[in-house]
Amino acid sequence: MRARRNISLMFSLFLGLSVPCQAQSLVQDAAAHIEAGRYADAYRMLSAEESERAGDPQFDLLLGIAALETGRHTLAVFALERVLAVQPDNARARAEIGRAYMALGESEGAKRELQAVRGQDVPPEVVRAIDRLLAAIDRAALQGRTAFSGYVEAAVGRDTNVNSATSLTSVTVPSLGAFVLDTSSRSRSAWFSALSGGVNVRVPVNPEWALIAGASGAGRFNGGESRFDTTALDGNGGVVWSRGQHRVTALLQAGMFEVDQEKLRDYTGGLLQWQYTHDARNQTTVYAQQTRLRYEGSNDVRDVNRNIYGVGHAMLLPDGQTLLFGSVYLGAETGRNDLSSGINIAANDVIGFRFGAQHSLDERWQLFGALSHEARDYHATDPVFGVVRDDTLTSLSLGASYEFAKNWLATPSLSFSRNDSSISLNEYRRGIAQFAVRRTF
C-alpha cells in the first residue's frame, strides 16, 4: 500500500494539478479548491451535487480528482469512467483513472491507462513522468521479492574547523588563572576528501511483514591535519510492519567512531518508529530512540544513555514540486558517575528541532535546505569551571543536487554550525563547503 501511495504522490509531482474550468460557479469554486490542495472541501462541494450533475465531464473530472486525493479510490474510478464514456480521448481523465487503479492495486489496469495517455499528443515532460511511473509500477510488482539497494559517494571540500574546537588561544579557570591552549585544542581548518558507502536489504515475510538490515561506512581525510581523520561504521537490523496507512519499524542499531585510527566511542541502541500517511501529500512520523554511548579510556566520564522522543511531519505543497518537513524532539542523556568525585558530569536534558525544504526545479535539479537547533541543559556544576554547563548548537545547511546521468548525483552544499556554551572552552564556529558525487544502485 505504501508503494502505491508513493507512486500516486510521484505522479502528482510531475503531472501537476491544473484543471479546466467552466463558467459555472460550482465548477470554478471546486477547481480553485483543488488547485489550492483543499481536496476535502472540493469533494464535499461536488459530492452534494453528484446526483444532479453526474454525466457532465467537467464536473465528473473534478469529482474524480477530489475523490482520489481524499482516499475514495473506487468512487474516483466511477466518476472518471463517466468522463471517458463521453470523452474517450481525455488524457487527464485517463491519467487520473490510472492513478486510481494503482491505489486499488490494479497494476495492469493502471499500466493500460497510462500507456494510452503516453500514446497521445501530450507534452514531453508528461511523457517522461509517465515513463517513470510505469517503471515504478514494475518495481512495485517486485515487492514480494528480496530487494537490495545501496550507494557509494566521494566528496571533496573545505572545513574551517575540522576538530569542532574553540578559536580561543587561552581560557581562564577559576582559582587557577589563565591557561594557553595547545594547538590541538584550538580550531583547525583544512581541505578534506571523503569516501562513504552503504547497502540495505529488505526480505518480505508476508504482505505485511518484512525483515530489513543495513550497513554503512564513511572515512574522512583532512589534508595537513591527519590527526583529525575520522572513520565511522554503522549497522542496523529489524522488522517492518505495514498495513493501510500505517507503517511501524523496529530496529537494533550499533556502530563505532574512530579519530586518527583510534576508537573514540561506540554505540548500541534501538529505534521504534510509526509512520502514518494521511494522503498522497502528508505523512506524520512518531519515534522513540535509545542509544548507549561508550567512550574509550579516560573519556569514559562522557559515557551516556541517550533517550529521545520525537514527532515529525512532511508535506508536499499543491505545486507538486516543493516538500516541507519538520520535527521536534526532547529527551535526556543520563551519564555515568565519575568514580573519583561522584559527580554525574555528563547528564543533561535535551530539546531540539529541525525544519527544512526541498524544491524540484525540473527532473534533474533540486534545491534543499535545513535548519536545526538543539539545547542541552546539564544537571551538575562543572568541577573545573565552577558553573553549570548549558549548550545550544544551531546548524544551517544549503545545497543543490543534479542528476547528470541515471543513478548518478552531483551535490554541492554549504553548512554552518555554531555552538554557544556557558563554558567558553566549549564554544565553536564551523563552516563546511563540499562537492559530492554519488552513485546509487
Q: What is the pLDDT of residue 126?
A: 67
Please list the pLDDT of the chain residue by residue as tens digits (441 residues).
444 444 444 444 444 444 443 436 888 888 888 888 888 889 988 988 888 888 888 899 999 999 988 888 888 888 998 998 888 888 888 888 888 887 776 777 777 877 787 777 766 666 766 776 777 666 655 556 788 899 999 999 999 999 988 887 777 777 676 777 777 678 899 999 999 999 999 999 988 899 999 999 999 999 989 999 999 999 999 999 988 788 999 999 999 999 999 999 999 999 999 999 887 678 999 999 999 999 888 778 888 899 999 999 999 887 778 999 999 999 999 876 544 445 578 889 999 999 999 998 887 899 999 999 999 999 888 878 888 999 999 999 999 999 999 899 999 999 999 999 999 888 999 999 999 999 999
Query: Which residues, including other chains, have CB under 8 Å from residue 169's CB and lie 6 or more apart?
Result: 180, 181, 186
The pTM score is 0.71
Q: What is the pLDDT of residue 8?
A: 44
Q: What is the pLDDT of residue 122?
A: 67
DSSP state of 387: S
Q: What is the pLDDT of residue 367?
A: 96
Place of cell 536489504: 201
CA distances from 408 to 244, 405, 436 (A): 33, 5, 11
Q: Which DSSP string corresponds to 217-284? A: EEEEEETT-GGG-EEEEEEEEEEEEEETTEEEEEEEEEEEEEETTEEEEEEEEEEEEEEEEEETTEEE
Indicate the fold that domain 2-140 takes in CATH: 1.25.40
The answer to whether the CB of 358 falls within 8 A of the CB of 366 is yes
Q: What are phi and psi of 103, to 5 degrees?
A: -60, -30
For the chain, domain boundaries: 2-140, 147-440
The answer to whether the CB of 83 falls within 8 A of the CB of 91 is no
CA 250/CA 126 separation, integer angstroms = 38
Please give the CATH architecture assigned to the domain spanning 147-440. Beta Barrel (2.40)
CA 95/CA 111 separation, integer angstroms = 10
CA 246/CA 82 separation, integer angstroms = 32
The answer to whether the CB of 178 falls within 8 A of the CB of 170 is yes
Q: What is the pLDDT of residue 365?
A: 92
